[in-house]
Amino acid sequence: MLLSFVLGNNEFLVMGVLSNISKTYHVSIANVGLLITAYGLIYAISTPIITSLLGNFNRYYTLIGLTIIFILGNTLSGFASNYTVLIISRVIAASVAGAIISLSMTFSNVIAPRSKQGTVVSWIFSGFSIASVFGVPFSTAISTVFDWRMTFFIISLVSVITLILLMISLPKEFEQINSPLKSQFKLIKDPRIYVGFFLPFFAIAAIYVIYTYLQPLYGTLGFSKASLSIFLAVFGFASLVSNQLSGRIAEHGGLKFMPKVYAVEFFILLAVPFLIHNKYFGLINLLIVGVVMYLINAPIQIHFLNIAEESYPQAVALASSLNPIASNLGISLGSAVGSLIVGNFGLYQVGFGGAIFALGALLINLKLNQIISRT
């Protein structure tokens, strides 16, 4: 959880210090914003490549090595003498971040019995929620008191502490299954895998059509601007609850239960345009979006890991990377579609876009459950 917390801070930090970086390097805010876009793309592209290339190596030492590379990349961001060096440092951090979180997930079946794997996975994912609720605002505050570079140094310090705790606590010996890359990618051909990949892709896209414009949507409800930070903190807490409920669902029903979630989510998102002028019902509806936000995380992660362990043991690390990849692609798609809707139809219509993706997630979930029951 600490590991995902520092990874989340590193990823989200730039959002809070855009203007500071812009002033330091005399680069437009639009160009600095590309750091966020580039991070997501590099994350999505590098994660399956690195996890599959390193799949034949000891998981413990691979995780430790990648974490050291991440710390070096993050620290370089703090020392970056120019914008080009900052870009390089972000590329280094992004290229290993996905593989790190994917490998950390593979330890769930080692440190916990199968009945508790969902809880472990949900706590790992919770680190990102905690980063968005507490870490990023804290980092932004530090940058205003000292300098934006200090935030990267603090993340590196916490990362070093986390690295030491990993080295002390994680099991070191694993049964290694050496196999060529071609053998690992057989995993992708399994319909339980490639159909399952599109489930978090559509599910997260549905939420991010709304989440990208959460701040202006809240502004239309009629609450004071001073209350925005309180709302964002409460929403962040709701997303943390979402991760915890995700673990419970993974252990009690899993993917069989999720169609009920998407049926409810469809109507919640569909209601956004109609409740946006109702101060309190609109507020409650937005908070419910936060509660359903990450419910898919643990069920789909456990699904991928179980399929790999039972049928493709040579590709466990690759299987573990699929959910983070699909989620990041879903974030990109959802925010892009939200932007198109706002630009062409207005802010109030984003709920309809989210509802369409939620319907897609529902249909994919039903199809996946059908495939699982047949096999």
- How is the chain split into domains, by residue range? 2-174, 184-374
Task: Find out whether 184 and 318 touch, Cβ atoms under 8 Å.
Answer: yes
For the chain, state the CA radius of gyration: 20
Q: Given this model, what pLDDT does residue 177 score?
A: 58
200, containing H or E segment: helix 191-211
Residues contacting 157, CB < 8 A, separation 6+: none
Gap between the Cα atoms of 330 and 344, Å rounded: 21
Q: Given this model, what pLDDT does residue 64 score?
A: 94
DSSP per-residue string spanning 32-101: HHHHHHHHHHHHHHHHHHHHHHTTTS-HHHHHHHHHHHHHHHHHHHHH-SSHHHHHHHHHHHHHHHHHHH
Domain 2-174 and domain 184-374, same fold? Reply is yes
How is domain 2-174 classified at the architecture level of CATH? Answer: Up-down Bundle (1.20)
How far from the centroid of its chain's Cα atoms is residue 113's Cα?
24
Length of the chain counted residue by residue: 375
Spell out the per-residue pLDDT of the chain, length 375, in tens: 899 999 988 887 776 677 788 888 888 766 776 677 677 778 888 888 888 788 778 888 999 999 999 999 999 999 999 989 998 999 999 999 988 988 888 887 778 777 777 788 888 888 887 887 777 677 777 777 888 899 899 999 999 999 999 999 988 876 655 566 667 778 888 999 999 999 999 999 999 888 878 878 888 888 887 787 788 788 888 888 998 899 899 888 889 999 999 999 999 999 998 888 888 899 999 999 999 999 998 899 889 988 988 888 878 778 888 888 888 788 878 888 888 888 888 888 888 999 999 999 999 999 999 999 988
Task: Find out whether 281 and 275 touch, Cβ atoms under 8 Å.
Answer: yes
Residues contacting 200, CB < 8 A, separation 6+: 296, 297, 300, 323, 326, 327, 330
Gap between the Cα atoms of 282 and 74, Å rounded: 39
CATH topology of domain 184-374: Growth Hormone; Chain: A; (1.20.1250)
Phi, psi angle pair for 245, to nearest 5° = -65, -30
Side chain identity, residue 130: I
Task: Find out whether 98 and 325 touch, Cβ atoms under 8 Å.
Answer: yes
91 in the Ramachandran plot: left (φ > 0), alpha (ψ -120 to 50) or beta? alpha
